[in-house]
Structure 1
Amino acid sequence: MNDMTPITTKPKDWETDQEVRWCPGCGDYAILKAVQRTMPELGARPENTVFVSGIGCSSRFPYYMETYGFHTIHGRAPAIATGVKLANPELDVWIITGDGDALSIGGNHTMHLLRRNLNCQVLLFNNEIYGLTKGQYSPTSRVGTRTPSTPLGSVDRPANPCAFALGSGARFVARGIDVHKNLVPVLKAAYAHQGAAFVEIFQNCIVYNDDVFAPFTEKAQAQGNQLWVEHGKPLLFAGGQKGLALDPERLTLKVVDVVDGDASGVVVHDQTNRGLAHMLVEMPFGPFPMALGVLYDDPAPTFDEAVVLQNAQASEGKRPDLQKLLSQGQTWMVDKAPHVI
């Protein structure tokens, strides 16, 4: 995040003249609008902002943001974004990716970006399917998912994006839902974090994987199955009638009933507690609610700061001398042109 004086913008200032081309009803539309609404509230500057994407439906995103942008190649957005940030550390860098782009061919790049802790925001649109290439199963598709590439049902155990991020050393991990009003506060928190901020966004693919998240996103199911965490507040859901407590024997979380508003036995969310974050992201949905919001936020020194400092220290007291650089080592001089027969 830069230190320049914020300017006043409106959501419209972040929209391009490009026709937004996703399938009608796609969750990407809602995420795009949420980001465009968020940017003015951050005081961000369009000319100081870069969106970098890989390949997939989500990766069309840079075309629709009135900022600098790179639509790169499959899985390599983290590598390009790292180069952008190191070349100009003052830029606000956002990475837009999908579950297939970031966790299959791009898994290695995503891991290294998170462990290095580059100061940027990573928005992973998770629809549990390969939408752009017509509905094949992805690394996050559930066991039994029938697709053109798994006609008998997938037998793969799916990847858990937030567990992957924590295991890679991420210092900020959050979850949101494409159409939920709380997505904007999550994006704000990611931007405020100094370091790699990883946000998984559950995004509905209306064509190839419609309503896969309905059990916790449908209005009728939301209250009982969504747990929006807040630092310093008890882990309550179902209108405050249920909560999460620690099972002292197994050292795991368990669902408990909250009677007469007494939440004394319910765990209080501490977003700096990495162990608690692991438990929240790995809770099996069904017996447990879906944990949403800022699950982990514990800043650490960033990769780009370390590189800038190292370069400054290495060049301190030295004067650039290109001729000296070219002449060092083994050199020779050609006095005259060779004789040609």
Structure 2
Amino acid sequence: MNELTKLTAKDFATDQEVRWCPGCGDYAVLKAVQRTMPELGARPENTVFISGIGCSSRFPYYMETYGFHTIHGRAPAIATGVKLANPELDVWIITGDGDALSIGGNHTMHVLRRNLDCQILLFNNEIYGLTKGQYSPTSRAGTRSPSTPYGSVDRPANPCAFALGSGARFVARGIDVSKYLPDVLKAAYAHKGAAFVEIYQNCIVYNDDVFAPFTAKENAGKQLWLKAGEPMLFDGGAKGIALDMATLSLRVVEIADGDWQGAGVLVHNPQNKALAQMLVDMPSDIFPVALGVIFDSPAPTFESAVIDQNKAVSTGKTPNLQALVSKGQSWMVEKEPRAE
């Protein structure tokens, strides 16, 4: 494809039948990604979508790019190999709350701590949809499902807190149907390193409206969309987030006459990891849900370190496979004479 060709969303859509349940939030995420790719300047021939197992993992079939539909929880390992083999590729990992945080929990942790240059989109619907509605690592306490008929007694995992604890340098949240999701995707793409994005995605069959308390139109006031350098306001600017100095914890404050400074409302600094941790831990029954870019503090990437190291150790040397095989702890097994 000519580099000067102006692309559209259709250039990133395949001819494959999209096989998700009618009304699934995955449709909205797919459309958002397809619309956003041309705006990023991405090229289909330079882009790879890699997924594990789950409803969200059908994603590569529907993107007119390179793609791998891999095995359960192992998309980060495949992505690492792809990026090391060709660092110029744009690598996107598509995963779900079960795929990434149960069988793939250790792989997710390592790709984050290593800081591989990739975008990780975790579709969180708080349920196992593909295998017919069992509870997942993010399911809330009390969730009734085929595997927890009397209600789950597990404490749910917090994907963004997990990412921060694993050393992620970029953490963000979005909503499947939100008009702001493309902005989150653009910010993730602009970040050099592992960009972790949790997307609240509605499973209309097995966990319908679980996020409605803050995603429904009438509850939009419970959304705190964060922007660097701007005050943390929500509910139409009527409320904000302030720091209680006595307890070093966040609190909700009322805004009178638009005076957010007088109310002590915090200005968002995405490089402040301590603040990011408090934002992702805010209980939704008291606080709004933090959305947008929560933490963004770039650091050297894994593949750049590997490439630099390989260059350093190979400079001035001539490749010699036989010498390499014979070097170090190698020995010859001699056939001993058979005892008479």
Could you tell me which amino acid in structure 1 is paired with residue 258 of structure 2?
A: G
Cα distance in 2 for residues equivalent to 1:115 and 1:7: 37
* Partner of residue 34 from structure 1, selected from 32, 43, 54: 32
- Is contact 1:135-1:147 (8 Å) kept? yes
Could you tell me which amino acid in structure 2 is paired with residue 229 of structure 1?
A: L
Map 1:222-301; keep pairs closer than 5 Å: 222=220, 224-264=221-261, 265-301=264-300
Between the two proteins, the alignment pairs up a number of residues equal to 329
Q: Deviations over 1:252-279 (max 9, x none)?
A: 0000000000011100000000001001
Cα distance in 2 for residues equivalent to 1:273 and 1:121: 21
* Partner of residue 6 from structure 2, selected from 8, 17, 22: 8
With over 3 angstroms needed to count, the CA separation of the structure-2 counterparts of 1:321 and 1:182, relative to structure 1, is same
Secondary structure of 1:96's counterpart equals: strand
Residue 34 of structure 1, CA deviation = 0.3
Cα distance in 1 for residues equivalent to 2:60 and 2:5: 21
Residue 162 of structure 1, CA deviation = 0.2
Cα distance in 2 for residues equivalent to 1:19 and 1:312: 45
Residue 327 of structure 1, CA deviation = 5.4
Q: Deviations over 1:276-316 (max 9, x none)?
A: 10010000002100000000000001101000000010111
Cα distance in 2 for residues equivalent to 1:157 and 1:226: 23
Secondary structure of 2:197's counterpart equals: strand
- 1:50 alignment counterpart: 48
Cα distance in 2 for residues equivalent to 1:328 and 1:207: 60
Cα distance in 2 for residues equivalent to 1:214 and 1:58: 20
- 1:339 alignment counterpart: none
Structure 1: 5+ residue stretches without partners:
335-341
Secondary structure of 2:59's counterpart equals: helix
* Partner of residue 88 from structure 2, selected from 66, 87, 90: 90
With over 3 angstroms needed to count, the CA separation of the structure-2 counterparts of 1:89 and 1:136, relative to structure 1, is same
- 2:136 alignment counterpart: 138
Cα distance in 2 for residues equivalent to 1:261 and 1:247: 20
Map 1:295-314; keep pairs closer than 5 Å: 295-314=294-313
Q: Deviations over 1:94-115 (max 9, x none)?
A: 0000000000000000001100
Structure 2: 5+ residue stretches without partners:
335-340
Cα distance in 2 for residues equivalent to 1:216 and 1:274: 24
Could you tell me which amino acid in structure 1 is paired with residue 204 of structure 2?
A: I
Map 1:100-119; keep pairs closer than 5 Å: 100-119=98-117
Residue 322 of structure 1, CA deviation = 3.4
Cα distance in 1 for residues equivalent to 2:156 and 2:322: 56
- Is contact 1:6-1:45 (8 Å) kept? no
Cα distance in 1 for residues equivalent to 2:158 and 2:81: 27
- Is contact 1:7-1:44 (8 Å) kept? no
- 1:219 alignment counterpart: 217
**TM-align CA RMSD:** 1.5
Residue 325 of structure 1, CA deviation = 3.6
- 2:75 alignment counterpart: 77
- Is contact 1:146-1:154 (8 Å) kept? yes
Secondary structure of 1:253's counterpart equals: strand
TM-score by length of 2: 0.94
Secondary structure of 2:106's counterpart equals: helix
Q: Deviations over 1:51-101 (max 9, x none)?
A: 000000000000000111010000000111001101111110000000000
Could you tell me which amino acid in structure 1 is paired with residue 222 of structure 2?
A: N
Cα distance in 2 for residues equivalent to 1:18 and 1:5: 25
Cα distance in 1 for residues equivalent to 2:331 and 2:159: 53
Could you tell me which amino acid in structure 2 is paired with residue 28 of structure 1?
A: D
Are residue 168 (structure 1) and residue 175 (structure 2) matched?
no
Cα distance in 1 for residues equivalent to 2:76 and 2:115: 11
**Share of identical aligned residues, percent?**
76
